[in-house]
Amino acid sequence: MENITIAIDGFSSTGKSTIAKLIAKKYNYVYVDTGAMYRAVTLFAMQNNLVTIDFLKKEDLVKQLENISLEFIFNSDLGYAEMFLNGENVEKEIRTLAVSKLVSKVATISEVRKKLVLEQQRFGEKGGVVMDGRDIGTVVFPNAELKLFMTASADKRATRRYKELLDRGDKVSFDDILFNVQERDRIDSTREDSPLLKAEDAIEFDNSDMGIAEQFERMCSLVDQKIAQN
Ligand code: DC
């Protein structure tokens, strides 16, 4: 029985990574959080004064791309891999609202996407991977055996993200989070290069009113079916 590739795409804060981690654990697959890669490039750009709310120095960032090394290093205490940018653990910094506010802008740059997509394809060469993002089923792995597409209302998503950030001790306002969720939806869905789209053969999950346990159960039966067919 061959390992399959599972592509999970969808809007921000739809719980893609929570589900992807659970699936990876159950099937002993590798989980790749591609959003973390775009976030790490964004953090690099922020640290080098190449992006703010007011500007994006696209050419300068593109020139610096060869100086950006991204690595996922598995943390057995946490049970998932953390993101390292040029050898430094940046897992916490990349999850801040400051990075969320700029990441969609950086993710519009085709040269950034090209670099990250190649790295993502390498991670998935042998199958046995669960990858989440915006363009996994459409661009990174158009032949993935199983494609899932997750949606939920903006209000529900903002509420979840708001609680997450408050639990971590970040001081944020709900309105700011809701605006960020809606703004990222808009930029991610309308960009020219690899916009967020549901692949034709993706199975949609609207989890506005569906709990994790129910989604997980339904998805596992899809995974089992695909593994059996493979
Ligand atoms: O999944 P996330 O919220 O951590 O992703 C952060 C941003 O990165 C998202 O707003 C758009 C971008 N992204 C992307 O363009 N393509 C991907 N495959 C993953 C993320």
Which amino acid, residue 63? Answer: K
Percent of the chain with pLDDT over 70: 100
The mean of the pLDDT values for the chain is 95
The verdict on residue 209 lying in a domain is yes
Tell me which residue range forms the domain holding 20. Answer: 5-222
Q: Which atom of ligand 1 is nearest to the CA of 191?
A: 15
Token digits of residue 227: 């593994």
Q: Atom 10 (ligand 1): residue with closest C-alpha?
A: 104
The verdict on residue 37 lying in a domain is yes
Q: What is the CATH number of the domain that holds 106?
A: 3.40.50.300
The verdict on residue 65 lying in a domain is yes
The verdict on residue 228 lying in a domain is no
| Residue whose CB lies within 8 A of the most ligand 1 atoms, among 34, 151, 179, for a mutation test | 34
How many domains are contained in the chain? 1
Q: Atom 15 (ligand 1): residue with closest C-alpha?
A: 107
pLDDT (tens digit, 9 = 90+) per residue, 188-202? 999 999 999 999 999
If you measure from the C-alpha of residue 229 to the centroid of ligand 1, how many angstroms do you get, rounded to a whole number? 31
* 104 close to ligand 1 (CB < 6 Angstrom): yes
pLDDT (tens digit, 9 = 90+) per residue, 18-34? 999 999 999 999 999 99
pLDDT at 79: 87
* 39 close to ligand 1 (CB < 6 Angstrom): yes
Q: What is the mean pLDDT of each run of 10 residues along the chain (230 residues)?
A: 90 94 95 97 98 98 98 92 97 95 97 98 93 98 97 95 92 95 94 96 94 94 94
If you measure from the C-alpha of residue 228 to the centroid of ligand 1, how many angstroms do you get, rounded to a whole number? 31
The verdict on residue 227 lying in a domain is no
If you measure from the C-alpha of residue 187 to the centroid of ligand 1, how many angstroms do you get, rounded to a whole number? 11
If you measure from the C-alpha of residue 99 to the centroid of ligand 1, how many angstroms do you get, rounded to a whole number? 11
| Residue whose CB lies within 8 A of the most ligand 1 atoms, among 103, 139, 177, 182, for a mutation test | 103
* 10 close to ligand 1 (CB < 6 Angstrom): no
Q: Atom 9 (ligand 1): residue with closest C-alpha?
A: 104
The verdict on residue 196 lying in a domain is yes
Q: Atom 16 (ligand 1): residue with closest C-alpha?
A: 134
Q: Which atom of ligand 1 is nearest to the CA of 140?
A: 18
The verdict on residue 19 lying in a domain is yes
The verdict on residue 85 lying in a domain is yes
- Backbone φ and ψ for 159, nearest 5 degrees, come out as -60, -45
